[in-house]
Structure 1
Amino acid sequence: MKNLFVRTLTGIAFIGVIIGSLLTGKYTFGVLFLFIMVIGLREFFNFFNNAEISPNKWLACAIAVLFFITFFLVGSGVLPQISYYCLIPIFLLVFITELYRKKKFPFENMAAGILGLIYIALPLSMISLMVFTADHEYNPSLLFALFALIWTYDSGAYLFGMTFGKNRLFERISPKKSWEGAIGGALSAVVAAWAIAHFFMPSIALYHWIILALITVVSATFGDLTESLFKRQFNLKDSSNFLPGHGGILDRFDSLFFAIPSVVLYSKLFI
């Protein structure tokens, strides 16, 4: 009962902080998600603490911060879009610095550093593409909708899975997930998409919201399974205890890492 109380209290505070930061303005949004990105990277690199692999954590975090700030400033209209291209050579620093570190397993060290940047830093940097319009105005409506779809899917999957779950979705990686839960969660997300289209963002057609809901469901599922794969390899239950009762930042945002690029791509191409 105590664990349930702690989990519920943390969940309410967690949702409140996210909603509050998005409503307050672009700077609180930026500070919060920059913080989330840095903590997420720290958790990811801590996976390797008991391994012989030693990625350059400080360099990766510095590059990640540079990525996030660049995307934020381009979205705000402070920097031109050509600034994105300047980020590409930055990846080379991961390779160059490894020449001077004299660590064992340099290939694995570089691979782990690049993986952390692609898996966590790039998606969370791309989140700025969801909250800034083409005119550089701050509008977090699409990001609100994405969170609503993910939370609805997770809740529906949990309830349907607990009630009807018999057939395992991916037992080798996540034994508790079921096809019944995934289908129930997907239906819940479609209902949420219908509500968003009719009551909150009618400017975007209903069929776009349904497609976005399905994209979110698929990408969130694979994002969740990918993080489960990482934890299984390193024999971990949670990525950390940063959020009491919920685990770490990676445990709470694993769905978002895959959902952000997918939703951004669809919205830029078709909406």
Structure 2
Amino acid sequence: MKQRIITGIIAGSAFLACTVIGGPWYQGLLIVLSLIGYYEFARMNHFQWWNITSLLGFAGVIYFVFPWEGFDVSVEPMWMWLLMFLFLTITVLSKNRIDIDRIAVMFLGAVYVGVGFQAMITTRYTPDDHGLFWTFLLFGCIWASDSGAYFTGRAFGRTKLWPSISPNKTIEGAFGGVVISVVIALLFAWYAPELLPFGKAVGIGIVAAVVGQLGDLIQSAYKRIRGIKDSGNFLPGHGGVLDRCDSWLIVFPFVQLLMLLPHA
């Protein structure tokens, strides 16, 4: 527990500092985290990092996460198709030693990790120049949902939410997480009503909590299938990057998909 607390304080402080500073510090940190996350994903699927399939996946993650616009490089959607094509080509070159099922999983991982971290960078640099506000709003709702679900579940949890995937989660805890997430969102709306109307705050709080908890269950389900407890050991006492960022990778893209944040 002591190691977990110390690691959490150090890692959390560094992450918050880079988020506030922004620029290359924030972008660079998320690029590094995304590559570590995909490394964990590849290892979970029994691929060495230097395998051609893994290397192609790393390239895909860089394609999604790297801030190309700063170098006047236009990123076209067809490049994703090219990434898929190259993945499929591996099945031919390997004579099906690496079959379509494994290729599909690795392509999915590149999209899952890459788009998730890319959405975090996009949120930090929203066109209204209030990206730090929106970033802290989403992180605040996610962390509030996690904490609210944990403590509410411990105090009032009786009905299992999804015992075959995550035996400790309860419906009461999940509901408590949603409530606390909405409260945090409303506090952000109270602080800056000109940016965030109260009705929109409620919507973001609900979405962040529900989708964030689903992201946690997605990672739990995947780890259970693979027979592992943690995706990695990057953060002693906390597991790997994917363990810590599972909700982030789902919430940030989903909120942007619903166009709940300022967009170009």
- Distance in 1, matches of 2:104 and 2:13, equals 36
Match of 2:55 among 52, 55, 58: 58
The answer on 1:78 being equivalent to 2:72 is yes
Match of 1:98 among 78, 85, 91: 91
- Distance in 2, matches of 1:110 and 1:86, equals 17
The answer on 1:23 being equivalent to 2:15 is no
1:55–1:109: 8 Å Cα contact kept in structure 2? Answer: no
Q: 1:111 to 1:183 in 2, by over 3 A?
A: same
The answer on 1:89 being equivalent to 2:82 is yes
Q: What RMSD, in angstroms, separates the aligned Cα atoms of the two structures? A: 2.4
Q: Secondary structure at the match of 1:267?
A: coil
Structure 2 length-normalised TM: 0.90
User: 2:199 maps to which residue?
Assistant: 207
The answer on 1:177 being equivalent to 2:174 is no
User: 1:246 maps to which residue?
Assistant: 238
Deviation string for 1:69-118 (max 9, x for gaps)? 1xx233x58345x6344443232211123321345241122112111112
- Distance in 2, matches of 1:22 and 1:154, equals 20
Aligned ranges for residues 73-152 of structure 1 at < 5 Å?
73-74=68-69, 76=70, 78-80=72-74, 83-102=76-95, 104-134=97-127, 139-152=131-144
User: 1:49 maps to which residue?
Assistant: 46
1:140, distance to aligned residue in structure 2 (A): 2.5
User: 1:165 maps to which residue?
Assistant: 157
Partner AA of 2:135 in structure 1: L
- Distance in 2, matches of 1:112 and 1:240, equals 18
Structure 1 length-normalised TM: 0.88
Unmatched runs of 5 consecutive residues or more in structure 1: none
- Distance in 1, matches of 2:34 and 2:253, equals 15
Q: Secondary structure at the match of 2:258?
A: helix
Q: 1:243 to 1:200 in 2, by over 3 A?
A: farther
1:25, distance to aligned residue in structure 2 (A): 2.1
Q: Secondary structure at the match of 1:175?
A: strand
- Distance in 1, matches of 2:159 and 2:196, equals 36
Match of 1:13 among 10, 14, 22: 10
2:204–2:260: 8 Å Cα contact kept in structure 1? Answer: no
2:223–2:231: 8 Å Cα contact kept in structure 1? Answer: yes
- Distance in 2, matches of 1:178 and 1:15, equals 27
1:67–1:121: 8 Å Cα contact kept in structure 2? Answer: yes
1:201, distance to aligned residue in structure 2 (A): 6.0
Partner AA of 2:72 in structure 1: V
